[in-house]
A and B are shown apart, each in its own frame.
Chain A
Amino acid sequence: MQQSEDQLRAWMTGGMDGDAAAHATLLRALVPMLRSFYRRRLAGAGDDIEDLVQETLIAVHTRRESYDRARPFVAWLYAIARYRMIDHLRRRRTTIPIESLDDILASEGFEDACAARIDVARLLSVLPSKQARAIRDTHIDGLSVAEAAEAADIGQSDVKVSVHRGMKALMGRIRGERA
């Protein structure tokens, strides 16, 4: 449940006055807020979302001095969360190998490809994460079933079933959207 601005700010200022319990309560209350903040913006990012949540909590803790008690807390929080997300995306971008970037840029229909990727990401985001990951691994990233099973630390049949169920759900959804 999302706490009110006043409640969050009260915990924040309590923590800034040295009240460790208030600080802990605040951080715990922020976890669901941050999870949904990042989920809405980074569909299907999986483990990255929890990393981002943790990095943001650490920033909220270590950079408390940048909070002005007289100003809204939630705006401050989301400003930090947004910065962490942009930094995360920047870091990720730097790990894209140059060859594949060339391919993407050189190939015609770059925009279509981007749009398709966004559509796929959006579609996958509605699936349970296990199904989404199985589909992404086997159908987009081109892993074999065995590799995907090992990467996700689940059985091969589990991967196959997840792909099957996920695809079926997606087909149903696409039909539903068209109807």
Chain B
Amino acid sequence: MNTDELIRTLSANVPPVRRHALGRRMALGLMAGSLVTLAIVAAWLGVRPDLPQAMHGFSFWMKWSYTASVGVIAVAATIRLARPEVRSVGWLWLLALPILLLAGVGLGELADNPARDWLAMWLGRSWLVCPWLVLSLSVPIFIGLLWSFRRLAPTRLRAAGAVAGLAAGAWAAMFYCLHCPEVSAIFVLTWYSLGIGLAAALGALIGPYFLRW
């Protein structure tokens, strides 16, 4: 096909693009994936039975604010990397803020408890499964974000894959909170973060293949 014909074909179909179309598309992919993850948590893992009481406690909101703040920063970076121009994402260092805050809470908890309890607090009852569950729950959200990227133009594919994985991991961890009964900050800091980090690493690994266009 010659270039003039191509232009005629392309111009035959010019749907309007809404303002903030990129943000909407990202939100749609994120929400679609989140619904699947939520359904898996509800149907397979089960929501913790004491959720209403837990929602009055500190540890539930600690977990939720940690994962949500990581999730929000990661989604912002994903949106930035969905545009083709190379622009700095230096503000990803903001991620240090929730991590340091959580570490502070963790140190406080350790100080309040005798040293013989520390190992039990750190490992909880689910340290062996927690990172893997977070990683598995992140898959539907990651797929949702991959769908969002189909009409967008990432040019740094590995970085885009990594932040999309980070976002998927953090949001998955947020929904995992509905199931997970662990209470200590050092548990969350270690095992939640490990699961989220694994999701980011996986995203960086497969990003260049799935985000290519």
Genuine A/B complex: yes
Known A63-B152, A65-B152, A79-B85: A24·B22 in contact at CB below 8 Å: no
A-B contact count (CB 8 A): 83
The number of chain A residues with a CB under 8 A from chain B is 35
The answer on a CB contact under 8 Å between A59 and B153 is yes
List which B74-96 residues lie within 8 A (CB) of chain A: 82-86
- The reply to whether the CB of A133 lies closer than 8 angstroms to some CB of chain B is no
The answer on a CB contact under 8 Å between A53 and B153 is no
The answer on a CB contact under 8 Å between A80 and B3 is no
Collect the chain B residues with CB atoms within 8 Å of residue A18's CB: 14-16
Collect the chain B residues with CB atoms within 8 Å of residue A71's CB: 85
- The reply to whether the CB of B8 lies closer than 8 angstroms to some CB of chain A is yes
Known A18-B15, A68-B83: A27·B10 in contact at CB below 8 Å: yes
- The reply to whether the CB of A57 lies closer than 8 angstroms to some CB of chain B is yes
Known A66-B152, A76-B83, A80-B153: A53·B3 in contact at CB below 8 Å: yes
The answer on a CB contact under 8 Å between B11 and A23 is yes
Dominant SS among interface residues on chain A: helix
- The reply to whether the CB of A151 lies closer than 8 angstroms to some CB of chain B is no
What bracket does the count of chain B residues touching chain A fall in?
A: 20 to 34
Cβ contact of B151, chosen from A16, A63, A80, cutoff 8 A: A63
Closest residue of B by beta carbon distance from A34: B3
The answer on a CB contact under 8 Å between B152 and A57 is no
- The reply to whether the CB of A87 lies closer than 8 angstroms to some CB of chain B is yes
Collect the chain A residues with CB atoms within 8 Å of residue B1's CB: 54
Shortest beta-carbon distance from B36 to chain A in Å: 23
Q: How far is the CA of A116 from the CA of B82 in the complex (A)?
A: 39
List which B164-203 residues lie within 8 A (CB) of chain A: none
Collect the chain B residues with CB atoms within 8 Å of residue A69's CB: 19
- Most interface-central of B17, B19, B22 (chain A CB within 10 A): B17
- The reply to whether the CB of A28 lies closer than 8 angstroms to some CB of chain B is yes
Q: How far is the CA of A20 from the CA of B6 in the complex (A)?
A: 14
The answer on a CB contact under 8 Å between A54 and B3 is yes
Dominant SS among interface residues on chain B: loop
Cβ contact of A20, chosen from B12, B83, B151, B152, cutoff 8 A: B12
Shortest beta-carbon distance from B152 to chain A in Å: 5
Collect the chain B residues with CB atoms within 8 Å of residue A67's CB: 83
Collect the chain A residues with CB atoms within 8 Å of residue B153's CB: 59, 63, 66, 79-80, 83
The answer on a CB contact under 8 Å between B85 and A75 is yes
Collect the chain A residues with CB atoms within 8 Å of residue B7's CB: 24, 27-28, 31, 57
Collect the chain B residues with CB atoms within 8 Å of residue A59's CB: 153, 213
Q: How far is the CA of A24 from the CA of B151 in the complex (A)?
A: 20
Q: How far is the CA of A62 from the CA of B153 in the complex (A)?
A: 10
Closest residue of B by beta carbon distance from A63: B153
Shortest beta-carbon distance from B145 to chain A in Å: 14
Shortest beta-carbon distance from A5 to chain B in Å: 14
- The reply to whether the CB of A141 lies closer than 8 angstroms to some CB of chain B is no
Shortest beta-carbon distance from A105 to chain B in Å: 24
Chain B interface residues (CB < 8 Å from chain A): 1, 3, 6-8, 10-12, 14-17, 19, 21-22, 25, 82-86, 151-153, 155, 212-213
16 pairs across A/B with beta carbons < 8 Å? A18-B14, A19-B14, A23-B14, A31-B7, A53-B3, A57-B6, A58-B10, A63-B213, A65-B17, A67-B83, A68-B83, A69-B19, A76-B85, A79-B84, A80-B153, A83-B155
